[in-house]
Amino acid sequence: MDEEPHSPGPSIRSSGRVQTRPLSPHLQIYGWSITMAASITHRATGMALSGGVLLLAWWLIAAATGAEAYAVFVRVAAHPVGQIVLFGLLWSLAFHLLNGIRHLAWDLGYGFKVSTTRLTGALVYLFSVLLAAAAFAVGIMVRQGLGV
Amino acid sequence: MSTFRTPLRRIEGLGAAKTGTTHFLRQRLTAVALVPLSVWFVASALAYVGAEQGAVAAFFAEPLNAILMALFLLAALYHMSLGLQVIIEDYVHQEGLKLAYIVLVRFVAWGTGAACGYALVKLALGTPI
């Protein structure tokens, strides 16, 4: 029978002796902290933005193709589903940008105190939402200004 | 004998990983470049929300805008390739599948870059200002 790699407790090795080695518990054992959440959110937003690059390519190619192709993009972008996706991408970019700056600060050796990492993590969440909301609002105002 | 490593291996200082910090440094280099470039891109894109195709084409007919967009795309696609590679290496444990995903990411990045590059050149050169 296969050993379960993450279950604590005795395991029988080829020597036949039962060994009780401490094994590190798996992910679900740990309580969530803001630093863990920011770390995995950085990855998730990075993946979302990878999809966003494909939409960016569509936008650019549509603009290069002509007025009709571009109008199709604008229609999809203005649709409620398109708006939700665009807001999600705006927030993803804001988060990845701000948390990326946090990472670059770490690379330079700043901000490693535990209390500081918690504070900067919380600030990244707060300001990413504010930044995305502000950018989205500007987008709405520009669109209304054009009377679209 | 305190070490089994040859003097050459020791002074190279690369250890079992074989390669140095190229991936790490390029991830940071593109990240630093993307801080101003992504802010420029979002600010520019927001100004053209709901605009006509002609207005967008005129925007990219400006040399500075076309060049900044090309740099933004290059940095973003490179950064994306490196980032997705790390995620794949962390979560995909089967060697063949891991390689296949990384190759796929590279192909998509190059394909997207080529398509966007063509579109950008067309916009930059094809539209009378």
Q: Which of A46, A69, A78 minimises the CB distance to B83?
A: A46
Q: Which of A60, A107, A143 minimises the CB distance to B50?
A: A143
In the numeric block, which tokens belong to residue B45?
Answer: 């894109």
Residues of chain B with pLDDT under 70: 1-2, 14-20, 127-129
Question: What span, in angstroms and rounded, lies between the C-alpha atoms of B107 and A39?
Answer: 27
Which of 1.20.1300.10, 3.10.520.10, 3.40.50.150, 3.90.950.10 is the CATH number of A32-145? 1.20.1300.10
pLDDT beyond 80 at A52: yes
* pLDDT tens figures, A7-40: 445 555 555 666 677 777 777 788 889 999 999 9
Q: Is the CB of residue A25 less than 8 Å from the CB of residue A7?
A: no
Which residues in A have their CB inside 8 Å of a CB on B? 43, 46-47, 49-50, 53-54, 56-57, 60-67, 69-71, 74, 78, 90, 93, 97, 100-101, 103-104, 107, 135, 138-140, 142-143, 146, 148
Q: Is the CB of residue A19 less than 8 Å from the CB of residue A11?
A: yes
ipTM: 0.85
How many domains does one find in chain B? 1
Give the number of beta-carbon pairs within 8 Å between A and B.
89
Q: pLDDT band for position A1 (50/70/90)?
A: very low
Question: What span, in angstroms and rounded, lies between the C-alpha atoms of A23 and B19?
Answer: 31
Report the share of chain B in percent with pLDDT over 90: 78
Residue B78 resides in a domain: yes
Q: Is the CB of residue A42 less than 8 Å from the CB of residue A99?
A: yes
How many angstroms separate the CA of residue A81 from the nearest CA in chain B? Answer: 16
What CATH code is carried by the domain that includes residue B105?
1.20.1300.10
In the numeric block, which tokens belong to residue A124?
Answer: 């990244």
Question: What span, in angstroms and rounded, lies between the C-alpha atoms of A126 and A120?
Answer: 10
